[in-house]
Structure 1
């Protein structure tokens, strides 16, 4: 027997004999579904064997960072280097989060009450979409954290403090990011002023950077790359069957990842061959014809892979307890395809696929109004960015039948 095969046999034996076998295997299967490479899987598997040996029997009740660092200390006592110890933390944390065993550190943030009130106002009074609430509270949190670190409080802020905040971060933000951050911060400061937390003049003192029409470049891959991505799912593996339906919805209907994650079984009208989608930005439903290829992909997943469960969402995890896939999980599905195929693009997630399809529709001669309706945009101006493409190159991409699509 060769040295290599002997080593593989020993590693396999250690894997099956180590504690928490089923928990480790479920996590590794989810990593495969997310597009992890064989090399990274091998590292994860070997590291999880060590981690499992050190974990206490009470681990299912929760493990925090203090306990994890204690495990690192125990392993270091066996003459393992500091780098290996840090890698242990990096690999252990996602696994414990996957199992629901990770206890996030609780920080006593003096501004948390203000932030909670802002989130409630955005969600309950203004009715912003979950993605907008998440993004804007993140901008506000970042600013409030800076105020705390620099010993500033909202009540005493003046315009020069706001200038200092942007100057200190200018090297990390481009004009596009600066504009988005300025807008989000202006909304927060207006809310804070209405609550009597800061001077009402702060929000009006904010000035967005000058932006030039259509200055940013399209961020999506070419349509041939989209076809390559879809081709990787032409197999009988459960993960491929599920991911093919997801990728079709993202790349043909140009749905946002949150819209795909929220898609429910009752939104598919099989008899009427229609798909009803609640558009996040428009905050209203939109009806699409259910294309035969997409209907086939959905039906195959639902009939052969999706487990019987009362969960209403269509797309679920492949392993028990079969929860609905999150928007982050959908990003991992797409991002894994980009990486495995070596596709280079400014962004390598679901939104990049929206750009690829929109650019193709431009090349086919559709109006911005038609494309905007298809994408769920609220205004034609939001669609204009997709026109900044090499029209000649676009017309060279492979054919894909979108003739059955209509916009309503």
Structure 2
């Protein structure tokens, strides 16, 4: 009873029961990975909930498998007095705990997901793109995934391919595609695949011309960019006193000043930076390495990140993750840095929120500064100025300065029709 003579409801706590030793061992393992005490507590809370549910439902450890985890996710939680929502992050933490048990031999190992076998000719094509064209692994994986979507519609025997089979298969795939972008990417992958087959003599030549072209309007829209002051606000939004702020400032400086791609930043290594010559080597698409000048502010941001406290990770990768498991960042982390900076800077309604936004902004700023498309293409490492025109196509501010007002007060009169010099015959029908 409390002071108002009302019964007090005791909080029912989670109890791992006979599995408490497993939970303690898991906590020690998490602490050894470098997770903060708060993160360890959160992970242990999800694992304790799962173990308490096992005890209440009478499920033994030898029964644990993917189906048991799915039952836990779908169960109506009455394990404690205040039910907790089981979101995706919660599920990921439970799955990590169960895989930890499987790695220690406590539960049966999870069955590995078997991928569908790849046709030998498709595997050869994917390997040739990496060897001859120098495509990145993520690009090769995407091409393979797109081709796997169209092969059920056109078949796997190249000798049977014809223009009608190609066109009908792509149209049927477009009707069932899960995204409006898939037909265009699938057509691009199929076009490359058909050229490889023709080169090997396995299919008729010029079948790639039978692949329909997706409807698009080149250079129909203005480049998506931020104004220079907004870019400066993005860079200034990073706190130089914190570890994450120093790293994010260096990443944003490279994106905004040099127009690098997210993959260029993620794969940057210490050996790529020549401090004496003030240059930086960037290996872009097609494994083409180009040396770019290193601006003073970018170099200062890099030194602040490299000289400050950062995760102790072997290797010469410049940018690392700030949370365990530590290691090199990827393109997704670079995009997340840009998105968080946009929110911190208070930029409303940005044209996009990815790292390419700063690449477009750098190109537009250079165009306004008087640089030609050829010079911008050199900095952005484009082989054709047509590609550069997508990034920096027109100086909108300059056009606004020279545009004239429409004479709204003057009526518009149609010009008189000049006589043809031939009389219209009387009674002739119009």
Superposition TM-score, scaled by structure 2 size: 0.67
Specify which of 291, 312, 324 is matched with residue 328 of structure 2: 324
8 Å CA contact 1:241, 1:300 repeated in 2: yes
Q: Which residue of 1 aligns with 2:389?
A: 384
Deviations 1:27-67 (A, max 9, x none): 988xxxxxxxxxxx99x9868733454269xxxxxx97545
In 2, the alpha carbon distance for the partners of 1:193 and 1:285 equals 31
Q: Which residue of 1 aligns with 2:305?
A: 301
Q: Are the structure 2 counterparts of residues 167 and 74 from structure 1 closer, same or farther at C-alpha, using a change threshold of 3 Å?
A: closer
Q: CA RMSD in A?
A: 4.4
Q: Which residue of 1 aligns with 2:69?
A: 68
Specify which of 373, 378, 381 is matched with residue 373 of structure 1: 378
Q: Which residue of 2 aligns with 1:34?
A: none
8 Å CA contact 1:223, 1:360 repeated in 2: yes
Deviations 1:89-132 (A, max 9, x none): 45433896799969796144244655533322211244323353
Structure ranking higher on relative contact order (CA contacts 8 Å, 6+ apart): 1
Specify which of 153, 156, 175 is matched with residue 155 of structure 2: 153
Paired residue total: 355
Deviations 1:241-282 (A, max 9, x none): 11110110111111111111111111112222222222x126
Q: Which residue of 2 aligns with 1:54?
A: 50
Q: Which residue of 1 aligns with 2:315?
A: 311
In 2, the alpha carbon distance for the partners of 1:283 and 1:387 equals 24
8 Å CA contact 1:252, 1:357 repeated in 2: yes
SS for the counterpart of 2:289 is: strand
In 2, the alpha carbon distance for the partners of 1:228 and 1:173 equals 35
Deviations 1:140-197 (A, max 9, x none): 23334xx2xx7x63226623532433541579426xx755542222112333566687
The answer to whether the aligner puts 1:260 opposite 2:265 as a matched pair is yes
8 Å CA contact 1:268, 1:275 repeated in 2: yes
The answer to whether the aligner puts 1:121 opposite 2:112 as a matched pair is no
Superposition TM-score, scaled by structure 1 size: 0.70
Q: Are the structure 2 counterparts of residues 328 and 234 from structure 1 closer, same or farther at C-alpha, using a change threshold of 3 Å?
A: same
Q: Which residue of 1 aligns with 2:213?
A: 208
Look at both structures and tell me which one has the larger radius of gyration over its CA atoms: 2
In 2, the alpha carbon distance for the partners of 1:100 and 1:394 equals 60
Larger helix proportion, structure 1 or 2?
Answer: 1
In 2, the alpha carbon distance for the partners of 1:99 and 1:307 equals 28
In 2, the alpha carbon distance for the partners of 1:299 and 1:100 equals 40
In 1, the alpha carbon distance for the partners of 2:348 and 2:286 equals 31
Name stretches of at least 5 consecutive residues in structure 2 with no aligned partner.
1-10, 55-63, 103-109, 402-430
1:328-339 to structure 2, matched below 5 A, reads 328-339=332-343
Deviations 1:1-40 (A, max 9, x none): xxxxxxxxx9xxx9xx9865684998988xxxxxxxxxxx
In 1, the alpha carbon distance for the partners of 2:360 and 2:98 equals 35
In 2, the alpha carbon distance for the partners of 1:270 and 1:70 equals 57
Q: Which residue of 1 aligns with 2:92?
A: 93
Q: Which residue of 1 aligns with 2:227?
A: 222
1:274-293 to structure 2, matched below 5 A, reads 274-278=279-283, 280-281=284-285, 283-293=287-297
CA drift at 1:361? 1.1
SS for the counterpart of 2:280 is: strand
In 1, the alpha carbon distance for the partners of 2:97 and 2:237 equals 26
8 Å CA contact 2:259, 2:380 repeated in 1: yes
Deviations 1:294-313 (A, max 9, x none): 11111111111234543111
Deviations 1:351-389 (A, max 9, x none): 111001111111111100111111111111111123345
Q: Which residue of 1 aligns with 2:150?
A: 143
8 Å CA contact 1:281, 1:377 repeated in 2: no
Q: Are the structure 2 counterparts of residues 165 and 203 from structure 1 closer, same or farther at C-alpha, using a change threshold of 3 Å?
A: farther
Q: Are the structure 2 counterparts of residues 122 and 98 from structure 1 closer, same or farther at C-alpha, using a change threshold of 3 Å?
A: farther
Deviations 1:70-104 (A, max 9, x none): 4325664749999944x2x4543389679996979
